[in-house]
Amino acid sequence: MPVMEYIDAIRLAMKEEMQRDEDVFVLGEDVGRKGGVFTTTKGLMEQFGQHRVLDTPLAESAIAGVAIGAAMYGMKPIAEMQYSDFMFPATNQIISEAAKIRYRSNNDWSCPVVIRAPIGGGIFGGLYHSQCPESVFFGTPGLKIVAPYSAYDAKGLLKAAVRDPDPVLFFEHKKCYKLVTGEVPDDDYIVPIGKANVLREGEDITVIGYSLPLHYVMEAAAELEQEEGIQAHVLDLRTLQPLDKDAIRAAVTKTGKVLIVHEDNKTGGVGAEVAAIIAEELLYELDAPIMRLCGPDVPAMPINPPSEKFFMLNKEKAKEAMRNLAMY
Amino acid sequence: MPQLAESLVSATIDKWLKQPGDSVELYEPICEILTDKVNAELPSTVTGKLVKILAGDGEKVDVGTPICLIETADSDESVSDAAVNQTQTSGSRNAAESSEEQSTERSMRSRLSPAVQQLAAEHGIDLAQVQGSGLGGRITRKDILSYVESGKKSGTVQARAVNMDPKLAVRTTGLHLAETPKIPQIEIEKAIPGRGEYFIDVTPIRNAIARNMRQSVTEIPHAWTMIEVDVTNIVILRNKLKDEFVKREGVNLTYLAFLMKAVVNAIKDFPIMNSVWAVDKIIVKRDINISLAVGTEDSVLTPVIKNADQKNIAGIAREIDDLARKTRDGKLTLNDMQGGTFTVNNTGSFGSILSYPIINYPQAAILTFESIVKRPVVINDMIAVRSMANICLSLDHRILDGVICGRFLQRVKDNLESYNSETTLY
């Protein structure tokens, strides 16, 4: 099985979907001639031509609006937001139009659009290139949101997103692009939207999260098992909306001690909802307070390296939080 | 190894500029490094003496990994890690603190988590007997589980009645965004012998019929009208021709073929009958494709006679026979079912004299041909026995009104009554 980087898996998914279905096309800033600022769409214009790989003006509202309109008319657009930070001018299109059109038209219209956006920090990007916007979109019924952790999931989830009949936000972590490599089959598989994935079995604590921080969690879990005999059960949500409640229930019931991890800031994040679900449904399974390890509630990712390091999660932070929970 | 650029995870050391034993100033370049994006000199982060090189020339090093050791002037404790990563200490200090806490303090001994109480009740455990390994001597869920496993179950404390199945006790407040509304499962308690109910699985075709009927009735405002036709001439004409026709064509000459021809000719005069409601416009179809309702034991299908206006009575009779046979044999293709613009149902075939059909969505109207019955009729103030039949029409009242439908039915009636013994089938 070929081993490839996370970013290559995303590119391969787009390429395969464009080959499979003529209605699939890509649009965004610099996605064509330049091949994307991260090279995510590199080679697509050469292969599929400029009518299927559109370089757009610097106007995210228009990128989303054009994609949503095309989707409502039967196309399968993949819109790229260069950084998820730039997505906010498009939120009105996404939340008020894409998410609601099926409901508003009583099922006459639908909007099978995929909006890809690189999230997260740790790349010295500062305020405008590091944000995690999940919580902005998370509470919007009508949207599906996925955030892959591995290269395998990145390809499978993106293909599932393209084929989904409703709008899907695809949040890829930009630090994972080159950091994460893995085996990715070159056949046509999908990872179903709405299904979480157990990354690691364990008896002592349960860690629930998504995207980049789970790599730190997995490293910490390996060390904790070896050094201190603490066995962590790790659940990758993969899909943030809709949450896989069955998998959450199963993972929590396994140990009764839960740590929720994400890079987005703590207040009002995805973890808050996961914690609420657990509190609502699993009170009698809990053996410790639900704990969260998240980004701090400060307005922005700092640009100076020490502060960025303070903001970002890492293996040490994950390890300490996991140890504290195990000892509770 | 510091992170030199966005999304960079490793770099290669090209060449060391300092060797072990050399002294280095703060910010003085110590080596040259290569990455996918940039080539750069790496400045020292401290002043001191280079003690040891950990990664040699040409070696690829992950970001965050130490590459060398530099002894600083003020460090008595030999060497300090110059490159990165000095966070190990805080974690182990915490560990030490809390293990201290655990041995001395028992403040959490009586704090019982829901999981612990639940398990203790389930297994009938006297919690006083259980050692707590958690924070502040707290009894953890795992403590209970290992206590149960070790078989030290106390005999004195009996399991209290726990009438709460944890599987059922899941409580959800309100409807969560992420789930589809729950469909209540109703279980039939017990079959009462003799007068119970039984269930028939809904077949895909039954389901399709149900869906289409419901869509038609909910979307189309139906109106209904009926007319009475004297078909005596057709009865005479058919009796004259039918034996000859079977011999020649191999199919039966039915009344339906005559009716169909009369309907098609009337649609030609009133094209609006052959239309579809499209909200902001009415689409009138040029092709006249008649859907023919064909009933079987457990369903009804509407195969289509395409371009019925271009066929004569014999041709229509043959096509009716063909479609009816295919329907009964279950051999209809998708092509046979598509493109209908107006539906005719021969309800007389099962004895009906009056029916209220549901329009075959999205068409504009449906017509039924009822049983032919001999009845006394007044003609020119004299009573005669004539073969009479009713024709019923359900119409989409968004498209059609009473006047136009009345005229259309009158035209059908005229067409039917104008058949005579001279009419030819070809």
Higher model confidence: residue B75 or residue B268? B268
Asked if A139 lies within 8 A of B140 by C-beta distance, the reply is no
For the segment A200-210, the average pLDDT, to the nearest whole number, is: 96
For the segment A51-80, the average pLDDT, to the nearest whole number, is: 97
Asked if A241 lies within 8 A of B178 by C-beta distance, the reply is yes
Name the token pair of B121: 């009740």
* Residue of chain A with shortest Cα separation from B85: A316
* Residue of chain B with shortest Cα separation from A314: B87
Name the token pair of B346: 């021969």
B156 touching A, CB under 8 A? Answer: no
Going by C-alpha positions, the residue among B192, B178, B97 that lies closest to residue A281 is B178
Residues of A in Cβ contact (< 8 Å) with B138: 328
Q: What is the predicted pLDDT for the residue at B279?
A: 85
Name the token pair of A77: 């657009």
- Of residues B115, B173, B176, nearest to A284 (C-beta): B115
- Distance in Å, alpha carbon of A19 to nearest chain B alpha carbon: 29
Q: Which residues of A participate in catalysis according to the annotation?
A: 129
Q: At what angle do helices B232-249 and B255-269 cross, to 10 degrees?
A: 110
B175 touching A, CB under 8 A? Answer: no
* Residue of chain A with shortest Cα separation from B133: A327
Q: What are phi and psi of B182, to 5 degrees?
A: -80, 140
Contact (CB, 8 A) for A262 and A210: yes
For the segment A59-87, the average pLDDT, to the nearest whole number, is: 97
Asked if A282 lies within 8 A of B170 by C-beta distance, the reply is yes
Contact (CB, 8 A) for A206 and A251: yes
Map tokens 């953890």 to a residue: B140
Q: Which residues are paired to B43 by β-bridges?
A: B29
Interface test with A, best of B10, B99, B113 (most A CBs within 10 A): B113
Spatial CB neighbours of B414, under 8 Å, sequence gap ≥ 6: none
Spatial CB neighbours of A295, under 8 Å, sequence gap ≥ 6: A132, A262, A263, A264, A265, A266, A311, A312, A313
* Residue of chain B with shortest Cα separation from A285: B115
The predicted-structure confidence for B280-290, as pLDDT tens digits, reads as follows 899 999 999 99
Asked if A328 lies within 8 A of B142 by C-beta distance, the reply is no
Q: What is the predicted pLDDT for the residue at B156?
A: 43
Rounded to whole angstroms, the Cα distance separating A19 from A322 reads: 44
Interface test with A, best of B1, B3, B4, B7 (most A CBs within 10 A): B7
Is B123 a catalytic site residue?
no
Going by C-alpha positions, the residue among B314, B315, B297, B295 that lies closest to residue B306 is B315
Banded model confidence at residue B198, pLDDT cuts 50, 70, 90 = confident
* Residue of chain B with shortest Cα separation from A39: B7
Asked if B169 lies within 8 A of A256 by C-beta distance, the reply is no
For the segment B391-418, the average pLDDT, to the nearest whole number, is: 94
Q: What is the mean pLDDT of chain B?
A: 82
Q: How far is CA A194 from CA A117, A247, A310, B178, B278, in A?
A: 19, 10, 32, 9, 37
Asked if B141 lies within 8 A of A257 by C-beta distance, the reply is yes
| Burial (CB count <10 Å: 0-12, 13-18, 19+), residue B186 | exposed
Percent of chain B with pLDDT over 90: 40
Strands (DSSP E) along B231-309, which ranges? 275-277, 282-284, 290-295, 300-301, 304-305
For the segment B242-268, the average pLDDT, to the nearest whole number, is: 92
Spatial CB neighbours of B171, under 8 Å, sequence gap ≥ 6: A280, A281
| pLDDT for A123 beyond 60 | yes
- Of residues A129, A255, A319, nearest to B91 (C-beta): A319
Residues of A in Cβ contact (< 8 Å) with B178: 241-243, 245
Q: What is the mean pLDDT of chain A?
A: 96
> Residues of chain A whose C-beta is under 8 A from some C-beta in B?
38, 123-125, 129, 139, 141, 174-175, 177-179, 203-204, 228, 241-243, 245, 249, 255-257, 277, 280-288, 305, 316, 319-320, 323-324, 327-328
- Of residues A123, A124, A286, nearest to B115 (C-beta): A286
Q: What is the predicted pLDDT for the residue at B190?
A: 58
* Residue of chain A with shortest Cα separation from B132: A328
Using DSSP, state whether A170 is helix, strand or coil: strand
Q: What are phi and psi of B235, to 5 degrees?
A: -60, -45
B84 touching A, CB under 8 A? Answer: no
Going by C-alpha positions, the residue among A204, A238, A237 that lies closest to residue A221 is A204
Q: What is the predicted pLDDT for the residue at A165?
A: 96
B135 touching A, CB under 8 A? Answer: yes
Going by C-alpha positions, the residue among A193, A197, A196, A148 that lies closest to residue A174 is A148
Q: What is the predicted pLDDT for the residue at B183?
A: 52
The predicted-structure confidence for B144-188, as pLDDT tens digits, reads as follows 998 888 875 544 444 444 444 444 444 444 444 555 545 555 555
Neighbours of B10 (CB within 10 A): 16
Percent of chain A with pLDDT over 70: 100
Q: What is the predicted pLDDT for the residue at B106?
A: 74
User: Domain extents for chain B?
Assistant: 206-417
Any idea which fold B206-417 has?
Chloramphenicol Acetyltransferase (3.30.559)
The predicted-structure confidence for A6-21, as pLDDT tens digits, reads as follows 999 999 999 999 999 9
Rounded to whole angstroms, the Cα distance separating B24 from B48 reads: 5
| pLDDT for B417 beyond 90 | yes
Q: What are phi and psi of B2, to 5 degrees?
A: -80, 165
- Distance in Å, alpha carbon of B223 to nearest chain A alpha carbon: 26
Interface test with A, best of B135, B176, B179 (most A CBs within 10 A): B176
Asked if A281 lies within 8 A of B170 by C-beta distance, the reply is yes
- Distance in Å, alpha carbon of A238 to nearest chain B alpha carbon: 14
Q: How many residues does chain B have?
A: 426
DSSP code per residue over A180-249: -EEE--SS-----TT--EEEE--SSEEEEE-STHHHHHHHHHHHHHHHH-PPEEEEE--EEES--HHHHH
Q: What is the predicted pLDDT for the residue at B308?
A: 92
Q: What is the predicted pLDDT for the residue at B6?
A: 59
What single DSSP character describes residue B208?
H
What count of CB pairs under 8 Å joins A to B? 93
- Distance in Å, alpha carbon of A245 to nearest chain B alpha carbon: 8
What ipTM did this prediction achieve?
0.77
Rounded to whole angstroms, the Cα distance separating A312 from A316 reads: 11
Q: What is the predicted pLDDT for the residue at B194?
A: 63
Q: How far is CA A286 from CA A101, A273, B116, B329, in A?
A: 40, 16, 8, 62
Name the token pair of A233: 């059960």
